Chain A
């Protein structure tokens, strides 16, 4: 009973705060509304007995949204004053597409005769996930790890202004490096 009630509460919170992302005027509120939506979804995933995934969703997404809000304040000069920002284009078509997608997906969800459950959930879901990842599905994890490492490198290259040649000189020998803000290690 409690499970059902909380499922519906989380569902309503998730969808409403998701809608609020595009409803509120301030971008900071938008990103924290999205964070709230993710928290609700994470808790729903907890209810669906996937503790690790649920908590990790909350962890990752709150962090991301915190970063996103800072990003917007820094680059877009958002101050807390609620500036009405209505930056949409092609609102009608987008709305139509969204409603269409919802009807299609909802019809699918309700009308498709879903098969019965195969198998039973493992006793320790998280343990099973860990063993799966470090066993049969290790390739997936290895690939994901490599992709994330590549993302870090690519992201830094794209976003960074200065290269090591700017810091250390053309022959990379300058010590300490020429930084506008010296670091704390004294390299």
Chain B
């Protein structure tokens, strides 16, 4: 917040900036040739972090231990113990006040009004109801290539498979959503899709036309992805503008 207004170059909130004042410093164009903007900044930051970590370790006051990033013990665990004890208190509170229900015994003769798994399987259950999207092959005389339910099981495999290969599709050192608007938008559409597909799976409980709901299931994620992308891109431009302004204030063009 207040960092944005100060005149000294502080790129990450710590002391030194990335712009060194001597003539050995590569020109703006040279910098730009490699990478630019936030990813560049991230790179610089990582480099310095690694170097300083290395220096600290070599001072030998520290136990020799190869830590690539943020030590889990004790910094992270202490924090987590404090936070998780609140959460455990919450578990005990809700279980004391809201015990689970107990429906009637199993009866294969009576089909209940609601056949549902627990809420966390709704998305998977919803994927089973994608029958209308099952492609029909004209070669087979309009009959479907596979049964609707096979198609639904396959949809589950596709979704989980896609999530699994994300690290191999999205590489690089960008971390924050604002550095990677596209992937953040993909993630956002995934989150929204898991919610809409869950709504689709309980469509007889949703007060809405089922065809409309079916269409919305696929439209809403796309819309939200677009909005996310636009917002993050705008934020990113804002950061870039700020960085450029600071840069040129320091080294005005001739």
Are chains A and B native binding partners rather than an unrelated pairing?
Answer: no
Residues of A bordering B, CB below 8 Å? none
